[in-house]
Structure 1
Amino acid sequence: MELNKEQIKKIDSFLEAIGVEYIDIRFEMVDHIASEIEDNVEDIDSFFREDGFQTPFLKYMLSRKKEFETKYKSQVKKLNWFYTKNLCKGIFDLISKPKILLPFAILIFFCIQFGNLYLKEVSIALFMLLIASYVFILFKFRTFGKKFENVKFVKFYTVLNSFLVILPINFPNTFSVLYDGNYSTVVMYFYLFSFIGISLVNLHFLNKKEMIEQKYNFLIQ
């Protein structure tokens, strides 16, 4: 006998209450627990029938609380590695496409040719490109990001995207470079490759955006 929507919702609510935050992981756990109940419980209606803390379902879930918490933490770690590998593969696929590679190649060539002659101007331009790319993606996906913030992939991307901007702003210190005039080719190339990095990450995310909406939109309703 299959569980109905109300019974599945009870499983989901319990997992959410014990700290299973990411809805994509919770969705997989709910599906697994529901299958176990369907396979092992004969009278499902009685199993879910409300009776305070004596409800068989509640006893069953509480008895496995630590198991669920451990599994959740393990899944979070696994997904971090999975998304990292997926990101590296996605970026490699992107730079193998001429239409993606060519603009970056032209930008790198421009910096090599004119970077030493116009170090200050090129450094400032690259820094502004870096900030502009971050602001653009921030505004473009602000609604999407809020809606799907509890999807693990979106959280992974958001943290990485912020890190890729914070790093070049602070190391080297932006005030020291732009206000005190401590320009160098190292700083210029650091800004250049930070911009390329954040652009590739954003393009990778754009390729995944529609898939995320289709797969998890019904869980956000």
Structure 2
Amino acid sequence: MGSKNKLKRFKENETFDNVIQPTREEVTNNFPLKGNWHTFFKNENPIVLELGCGKGEYTIALAEKNPDKNFIGIDIKGARFWRGAKTALENEMNNVGFIRTQIELIDLIFAENEVDEIWITFPDPQIKYKRTKHRLTNSDFLKKYHHILKEGGVVNLKTDSEFMHGYTLGLLHGEGHEVLHANHDVYKDYYSPEEVTGTQTFYEKQYLEQGKPITYIKFKLKY
């Protein structure tokens, strides 16, 4: 994507009422929507997050299938989720929002017990050991998710990375969390949930064309 196109999308994002682009200072200094997301959506429906939402295809697809829930895509790359935000506005989807921010700030953006479900779709596996702190399913991130999730809330991890799948499963079992569903190839598993197989992101289609199996874990956190 050219720099001019990126700048154009950044500008357009500023006009979208379903996009929030707070500064780090705003997030760390009593972010006003923390604990008050019902005022953004103007309802009390359950909140579902997609972390590292990319182009926003998964956020949009889940929102279309679940109009009784609110969906928020989070990514630091606003030029990517521009497409999802624009699609939501064009289709008058009032249950969709996007936030441009770092995922490590998630517990400053949402209050304790404010979120019902989290999706992590095709994150960078950060394979090198020195990058462990950046893996979205490391212990520190799991604690943040546990803090903002309601009791009984679940986390979904969908990835093409066998490393990420194995790392996460090992961590979950080691820390005593509850694995509700796990498999190494969602398209060969009869019991794969429809929300996992019924939606494919831009990158997922590329992975499938390359013959990569798509893995999935659904789990509850216990501390």
TM-score, normalization: structure 1? Answer: 0.19
Which structure is higher in strand share? 2
Which structure is higher in helix share? 1
**Relative contact order: is structure 1 or structure 2 higher (C-alpha 8 Å, sep ≥ 6)?**
1
Specify the structure having the higher radius of gyration (Cα).
1
TM-score, normalization: structure 2? Answer: 0.19
